[in-house]
A and B are shown apart, each in its own frame.
Chain A
Amino acid sequence: MLIQMIPEIGHFALVVAMLMAAVQAVMPLAGAALRRPLWMAFARPMAAGQFLFVVIAYLCLTASYLFDDFTVANVANNSNSMLPWYYKLSAVWGNHEGSVLLWSLMLAGWSYMAARFSRDLPRDMVARVLGVMGLVGVGFLAFVLVTSNPFDRLLPNAPSDGADLNPLLQDIGLILHPPMLYMGYVGFSVVFAFAIAALLGGRLDAAWTRWARPWTNLAWAFLTVGIALGSWWAYYELGWGGWWFWDPVENASLLPWLTGTALMHSLAVTEKRGSFKSWTVLLAIFTFSLSLLGTFLVRSGVLTSVHAFANDPSRGFFILVLLGITVGLSLLIFALRAPRVSHQVGFNWLSRDALLLINNILLVIMTVTVLMGTVYPLLLDALDLGKISVGPPYFNALFVPLTVIMSIFMGLGPVSRWKRMDGRELVKRLWLSGVAAVVIAAVMPFIIGGEWNLWVALGLVTALWIVLPLVRDLFDKTRNAPTRLAGLKKLSLAHWGMVLGHLGLAVTIVGVAVVSNFAIERNVRMSPGDSVSVAGYTFTMRDLTSRRGPNYIGEGAEFEVRRGDSQRSFFMNPEKRTYIARGMPMSQVALRPGLFRDLYLAMGEDLGDGSWAMRVQYKPFVRWLWLGALLMAAGGALAVADRRYRRLATAKDPEKAVEVRTAGEAPA
């Protein structure tokens, strides 16, 4: 009986969560405006309650999947009794309704975390931050309940089995990619809420930025991992060997990443130097707005993409209204409350301040470039000016030079001083790095690819120019320490975070440059016994196989691969699967990953007469793309662990602190 009621319990929990979010939004914001401590005290318990009930709703939907309750439309459309249990868990968010529920879950989660780790903040600041997050929560929970209820039933005509999860999504990449991406998207809601709270409270000082920085870094780290996972997943799952398609949805995740990167740096300037105050607030608003815009673009179907699950205009309209209210209101508040008089702290044009400003401007230009390329076809169409296709050539033509220019300043930034930097000293510190970068980059293409390539060399110069000055700087910083190691240990975690982050970007740049220019692809027709040679590896098809998986039939090939004349060989087994419930074919790529090269085998079509079309690819340095992203994310996370923030977070026992505050405030 209770099991049959699970979807209703989940639905009810969602309604309760939305009501709690509404209270979380209204009472604290009103309390902060009218100076009523009792009203403000609603913020924390409501944030906890909202989170609890969204968790209940989410668990209910998960239970419906695990129990194969095909009377629930969402389960019937996206699951199947033969689907392995772990894919049933991830199928929960592999569809429109479930993914919006996951979005809401994460928002409630971040909101709860913000409530827990904000004990040292002024009461009205906490009230405003949680109030703003509550408002966003109301919007998204209403979106779920009104247009995208995951608990809708298919009664009385429930199917006996489900339509199965889209085979593309039956993969570890999908299990991890959306939650990571959403953690990033939604995580920016915290810094957004801080910015709005600072504007509302009229206290646009450096204090809020110190609070917002760890949250921003954490969200950014999640987003970085999320984007990298998406790229990695596309690489091996789509069977084309591509790792970035400039697909509207990929762009949608890149946009908040770019402004988020600018925001991290701008927050640093505001905290350290008290300048760029309005700009930092604006970036915080932009970053979360672009997260929302990304959600809109994916969920409304205004742009065609591999990610567009459903194309329902009512959903698009709802989320557009949500976007309009959230962003419109915040920008209005910004326009009205941002400080009228700019009392900028002076700085020289050669200083870390100025370099960070340039970095910010470049990142914003990149954002605009990607945004324009993404929505341009839509704009032209709406104006009835005809259609145009914006593809990779547009993005590459603008994005690559912008990245190179930005890297030039990235080399200078970390080694220069705040306020003003002596040009001669900068040259003295950097000339060796510059020369070394050019020399190494000029030689490396021969070693990596056996031939000279301008683009690879350019990529390497860029990467080395980012890294070498940092290394040099580490030497300078440890010069006066008793031992080098002791000197390195004295550097703050935040500094190491920066070093790691920049190193990560350099690693990614190397990956992009090499794999884009030195990758080899061969499409060949093969039958057992045939061989093909690619980049010094010989691929010999030994056998064709056939097998039955849990919910698919697989036709595979066994390849023996040998490098040069080596005695040792290894086997690779690409497979072509036909998923039974949907009758959909899927290519299961065989990968031999390596730090310096990937071998990539994908089965094409059965050509009859016992031969198959095979796609054989050699992908040098492709792993560096994602390795770099992981380093960047690790850098972001490391900076969060810096002592300055930890002191704030663990000043008191969290449980007690919450209780004491709540109890203490209630009688007032």
Chain B
Amino acid sequence: MKRRLLLMLPLLGFLVLMLFLYLGLGLNPFHRESKLVQDARAFPAFELSTLEDPERRVDESLIKGEVTLVNVWGEWCPECKREMPQLLDLAERGIRLVGVNWKDTREKGLGFLDEFGDPFVVNVFDPDGELAFELGVYGAPESFLVDADGVIRYHHTGYISPSDLRDTILPEVEKWQ
């Protein structure tokens, strides 16, 4: 009897996996609210150098004081290239953008900005993904809208399309201004 129960183990394991896959179907990997946003948590503490200047250290106070869109990007990420025109558009509208250069090298990151334009007031250099991990980043690009008090108010997973810009990002910025 004992061995029979042992033979049931693969089935049990599989049923557990099925349950998760079923739950996974209901969750869209894009456009899902991150836990950070549900709890309206403060932007996580960090201390990193900037992409532009290895000597300059920045921390979470960088994000405070003004509504800021924090965009996590990397040179290796093709979708990031596609969303640059939208980010440049946001910057032209006077919205403050801070970049988080994720799992990249300085040379590649700066090359990317040369190539595709630089909408960011400054870029946090996060080669080991420390800040991205705290933010709960799943994959680049992801964007976080942070209000003047440094509280994350909106989380956008994936590429910001021109219609996302119009229908969600701009209204959200308006809301928290």
On A, residues with C-beta under 8 Å from B are 238, 240, 278, 282, 285-286, 289, 296, 300-304, 311, 313, 316-317, 320, 323-324, 327-328, 331-332, 334-335, 338, 340-342, 375, 377-379, 381-382, 384, 386-389, 391, 523, 525, 604-605, 607, 613
Q: Is A613 within 8 A of B115, CB to CB?
A: yes
| B11: contacting residue among A238, A301, A320, A334, CB under 8 A | A334
Judge whether B170 is part of the interface by a CB distance below 8 angstroms. Answer: no
Closest to B135 in A: A387
Question: Which residues of the other chain, B, contact A335 by a CB distance below 8 angstroms?
Answer: 4, 7-8, 10-11
Task: List, in ascending order, chain A residues with CB within 8 A of B169's CB.
Answer: none
9 examples of A-B residue contacts, CB within 8 angstroms: A302-B24, A323-B21, A328-B15, A335-B11, A379-B20, A387-B35, A389-B138, A605-B116, A607-B115
Report the Cα distance A388→B134, complex, angstroms. 9
Instruction: Tell me whether B148 is interfacial, beta carbon within 8 Å.
Output: no
Interface residue? B162 (CB, 8 A):
no
> Scoring B residues 67 to 105 as 1 if CB is less than 8 Å from chain A, else 0, what string do you get?
000000000101000000000000000000000000100
**Do A304 and B7 touch across chains, with their CB atoms under 8 A apart?**
no
Q: Please, which residues of chain A bring their CB within 8 A of the CB of B137?
A: 387, 389
A-B pairs with the 7 shortest C-beta distances? A382-B23, A331-B11, A387-B136, A302-B24, A335-B7, A378-B24, A304-B29
What residue in chain B is nearest A304 (Cβ atoms)? B29
- The size of the chain B interface, using a CB distance under 8 A, is 41
Of A238, A328, A340, which is within 8 A of B4 by CB? A340
Asked if B30 CB lies within 8 Å of chain A CBs, one says yes
Query: In the complex the two chains form, is B7's CB within 8 Å of A324's CB?
Result: no
Chain A CB within 8 A of B119 CB? no
The contact of B10 among A323, A334, A342, by CB within 8 Å, is A334
Chain A min CB distance to B45 (Å): 17
Chain B residues lying within 8 Å of A289, measured Cβ to Cβ, are 14
- Asked if B34 is an interface residue, CB under 8 A from chain A, the answer is yes
**Taking each of B10, B17, B108, B138, which has the highest tally of chain A beta carbons within 10 Å of its own beta carbon?**
B10
Instruction: Determine how close the nearest CB of chain A comes to the CB of B98; give it in whole angstroms.
Output: 20
Q: Is B46 an interface residue (CB 8 A)?
A: no
Question: Does B171 count as interface, using CB distance less than 8 angstroms?
Answer: no
**Minimal beta-carbon separation of B31 from chain A (angstroms):** 11
Q: Which residues of B contact A (CB under 8 A)?
A: 3-4, 7-8, 10-11, 14-15, 17-18, 20-30, 32, 34-35, 76, 78, 103, 107-108, 111, 114-116, 129, 132-133, 136-139, 158
Known: A381-B32, A387-B138, A389-B132. A300 touches B4 (CB 8 A): no
Are A381 and B25 in touch, CB under 8 angstroms? no
**When the two chains form their complex, are residues A324 and B18 in contact, meaning their CB atoms are under 8 A apart?**
yes
Closest residue of chain B to A342 (Cβ to Cβ) is B3
Q: How many A-B residue pairs have CB under 8 A?
A: 102
Contact: A331 with B10, CB < 8 Å?
yes
Q: How far is the CA of A72 from the CA of B139 in the complex (A)?
A: 36
Neighbouring B residues of A379 by C-beta, 8 Å: 20
A375–B20 alpha-carbon span in the complex (Å): 9
- A313→B21 CA distance, assembly (Å): 12
Among A286, A302, A384, the residue within 8 A (CB) of B29 is: A302
Interfacial chain A residues near B7, Cβ < 8 Å: 278, 334-335, 338
Point out the residues of chain B lying under 8 angstroms from A523, CB to CB.
Answer: 107-108, 111
- Taking a contact as CB atoms under 8 Å apart, the answer to whether B10 and A282 are in contact is yes
CB closest residue in chain A, given B21: A320
- The answer for the CA separation of A382 and B23 in the assembled complex, in Å, is 6
CB <8 Å contact, B115 and A604: yes
A320 touching B133 by the CB < 8 A rule? no
Whether the Cβ atoms of A331 and B14 lie closer than 8 Å is: yes
How far apart sit A379 and B18, CA to CA, in the bound complex (Å)? 11
- A320 and B19 CA atoms in complex are apart in Å by 10
> What residues of B have a CB within 8 angstroms of the CB of A613 in the complex?
111, 114-115
Q: Give, as a whole number of angstroms, the nearest-CB distance from B175 to chain A.
A: 24
Q: In the complex, A381 Cα to B129 Cα: how many Å?
A: 19
- Chain B residues near A327: list those with CB within 8 A: 14
Q: Which residue of A lies closest to B107 (CB)?
A: A523
Q: Which residue of A lies closest to B36 (CB)?
A: A386
Known pairs A302-B21, A335-B10, A605-B115; list 11 more (Cβ under 8 Å).
Answer: A302-B24, A302-B29, A303-B29, A313-B25, A323-B18, A331-B14, A332-B11, A334-B7, A335-B11, A382-B23, A388-B136
- Least CB distance from A611 to B in Å reads 11
Query: Once the chains bind, are A296 and B21 in contact (CB under 8 Å)?
Result: yes
Most chain A beta-carbon contacts within 10 A, residue among B14, B20, B137: B14
A523 to B114, CA, bound (A): 12
Of all chain B residues, the one with the shortest Cβ separation from A332 is B11
Instruction: Report yes or no: B133 in contact with A389, Cβ–Cβ below 8 A.
Output: yes
A304-B139 in contact (CB<8A): yes
> Which A residues are CB-close (under 8 A) to B108?
523
Residues of A contacting B17 with CB < 8 Å? 375
CA A391 to CA B25, docked complex, whole Å: 22
Nearest CB of B to A266, in Å: 15
Q: How far is the CB of B2 from chain A (nearest CB, A)?
A: 10
* Nearest CB of chain B from residue A153's CB, rounded to whole Å: 28
- Closest chain-B Cβ to A317's Cβ sits at a distance in Å of 6
For A286, the chain B residues whose CB sits under 8 A away are 10
Q: List residues of chain B with CB within 8 A of the CB of A303.
A: 29
Determine the chain B residues whose CB is within 8 A of the CB of A304 once the complex forms. Answer: 29-30, 139, 158
Q: Would A389 and B139 count as touching, CB distance under 8 A?
A: yes
Note all chain A residues with C-beta closer than 8 A to B132. Answer: 389
A18 to chain B, nearest CB (A): 24
The reply to whether A328 and B11 form a contact with Cβ atoms under 8 Å apart is yes
Q: Are B18 and A328 in contact (CB under 8 A)?
A: yes
Chain B residue with the shortest CB-CB distance to A245: B76
Measured CB to CB, the nearest residue on chain A to B6 is: A335
Q: How far is the CA of A378 from the CA of B32 in the complex (A)?
A: 12
Which among B20, B24, B107 has the greatest number of chain A C-beta atoms within 10 A? Answer: B24
B24 touches A389 (CB 8 A): no
Per the bound structure, the CA–CA distance linking A297 and B34 in Å amounts to: 22
Tell whether A388 pairs with B133 under 8 Å between CB atoms, given A381-B32, A523-B108, A523-B111: yes
Contact B14 A378 (CB under 8 A): no
The distance in angstroms between the C-alpha atoms of A523 and B23, with both chains bound, is 43
CB pair A377–B138 under 8 Å, yes or no, is yes
Quote the shortest CB–CB distance from A165 to chain B (angstroms). 19
Smallest CB–CB gap between B76 and chain A, Å? Answer: 7
The CA-CA distance from A303 to B111 in the complex, in Å, is: 30
CB-based nearest A residue for B102: A389
Q: How far is the CA of A302 from the CA of B32 in the complex (A)?
A: 12
Which chain B residues border A302 with CB–CB below 8 Å? 21, 24-25, 27, 29
Q: How far is the CB of A588 from chain B (nearest CB, A)?
A: 15
CA distance A389 to B139 in the complex (A): 7
Q: Give chain A nearest CB distance to B111 CB in angstroms.
A: 5
CA distance A301 to B136 in the complex (A): 20
Closest B residue to A311 using CB positions:
B28
A residues less than 8 Å from B4 (CB atoms): 335, 340
Collect the chain A residues with CB atoms within 8 Å of residue B15's CB. Answer: 328
Q: Which residues of A contact B139 (CB under 8 A)?
A: 304, 389
Interface centre among B8, B25, B35 (most CB of A within 10 A): B25
Query: Which residues in B have their C-beta under 8 angstroms from that of A388?
Result: 133, 136, 138
How near does chain B come to A336, taking the closest CB pair, in angstroms? 8
In the docked arrangement, what's the CA distance between A331 and B133, Å? 38
Min CB distance B6 to A, Å, is 9
